Amino acid sequence: MSDSWKLTLPCTRAEAEAIDAADDFGIDPAPVLMTSEEVADDPLRWRLDAYFEGRPDKAAIAAVRALAPSSAKTKTTAERVPDADWITLSQSGIEPVHAGRFYVHTDANKGAIPAGARPFRIEASRAFGTGQHETTTGCLLTLDAMRVRGERARNLVDIGTGTGLLAFAAMHLWPGAYATASDIDAASIDVTAENAGLNGIALGNGPRELALAVAPGLEHPLLIGRAPYDLIVANILAGPLIALAPSIGMALAEGGTLVLAGLLKNQADAVLRAYRRQGLRLAGRIDTGDWPALRLRKRVRHGHDRVTRLGPGGAGETPGFGNW
């Protein structure tokens, strides 16, 4: 590569999570996109780096700028970077993540896989959830600790799946389970499908297969039809977690486990209050930096209202979910 260029823009964490690969923007060749924190634990201080093969024109710059509306008033220009493999350059600061029994890497930084670890190849810059951020690491550690304690999952869902990593990890821990992954962003579901292929994860609606859905929260016939779940993972943001508390609480089976992440320590109390109202209690917590992963359990009810159906094909009553 003899002519590589980089455009750097400020962005927010929410924008970073929503950023998709550039191949849908009509740019050829597509730039490589990478997001990172500028200031630790500040959701408003993130950065978007776009690496181009050749000097980008005004249309290409405008397409990248559209990914970060908060940067509209920022003046910046593309700059030429030294001769290098631009994909490797964009990922030069990324290290593999070893969390519990999981080892998450990109194609460029695979390194030596630790003995006994389950490797997952998750490329950077496609969707949130590469394992680099503390929220994803905390969820991986929480899931691993659940399996160590002998907890079981027969029907699980990863809400806001991003790259699919947490769904893949849960499927590895409980290989016979029905598994579902959803995201409000259709591009994230495309990324999850691609990553499933890279990591030997079968797609489908049966046990040992991953079913996919594009949905805001749980508003999808597939997600409603497969409920209640005995394991729900939601690594998103504190605001959406609070807003989704009623529907997530209803979708979780009695005695089931909910893993929440994407919130800061100072947001944990507000999130917990929202889920206590739904009959859940805090059962465990792992703090990775300033980012806690919360493990909650749903109380068991008794009597004729008790939910007995669990997963596709289950028998018994299901809750009236109404309009999610």
Amino acid identity of residue 232, one-letter, is I
Whether the CB-CB separation of 232 and 258 falls below 8 Å is answered with: yes
pTM score: 0.71
Asked whether residue 230 is assigned to any structural domain, the reply reads yes
Q: Give the domain extent around 53.
A: 4-90
- Do residues 166 and 186 both lie within one domain? yes
Nearby residues of 191 by Cβ (< 8 Å), 6 or more positions away: 20, 21, 126, 127, 162, 163, 164
- Do residues 102 and 81 both lie within one domain? no
Of 75, 90, 105, which closes a domain? 90
Do the annotations mark residue 308 as ligand-binding? no
Best CA proximity match to 88, nearest among 125, 130, 132: 125
Query: What pLDDT is recorded for position 110?
Result: 81
CATH number of the domain to which 37 belongs? 3.30.70
Best CA proximity match to 233, nearest among 297, 292, 177, 167: 167
- Do residues 169 and 215 both lie within one domain? yes
- Do residues 139 and 58 both lie within one domain? no
Query: What pLDDT is recorded for position 107?
Result: 82
Of 90, 125, 158, which closes a domain? 90
Sign of CA dihedral 43, 45, 50, 51: negative
Q: What is the DSSP string of 159-172?
A: ET-TTSHHHHHHHH
Dist CA 226 CA 281 (whole Å): 23
Rounded (5°) CA angle 249-251-254 = 75
Query: What pLDDT is recorded for position 310?
Result: 53
- Do residues 60 and 138 both lie within one domain? no
- Do residues 127 and 192 both lie within one domain? yes
- Do residues 33 and 79 both lie within one domain? yes
- Do residues 30 and 123 both lie within one domain? no
Amino acid identity of residue 150, one-letter, is G
| Burial class, 209, CB count within 10 angstroms (exposed 0-12 / middle 13-18 / buried 19+) | middle
Query: What pLDDT is recorded for position 161?
Result: 93
Query: What pLDDT is recorded for position 80?
Result: 86
Do the annotations mark residue 136 as ligand-binding? yes
Asked whether residue 323 is assigned to any structural domain, the reply reads no
pLDDT digits (tens, 9 = 90+) for 115-153: 999 999 988 655 555 556 788 999 999 999 999 999 999
- Do residues 135 and 112 both lie within one domain? yes
- Do residues 266 and 153 both lie within one domain? yes
Of 72, 90, 108, which closes a domain? 90
How big is the chain, counted in residues?
A: 324
Helix residue ranges per DSSP H, 227-279 = 238-243, 245-251, 268-276
- Do residues 172 and 248 both lie within one domain? yes
* pLDDT averaged over 10-residue windows placed end to end, the chain, 324 residues: 80 79 58 78 86 86 90 88 57 75 87 92 65 83 96 97 95 97 92 95 96 95 97 94 96 97 92 97 93 95 54 46 30
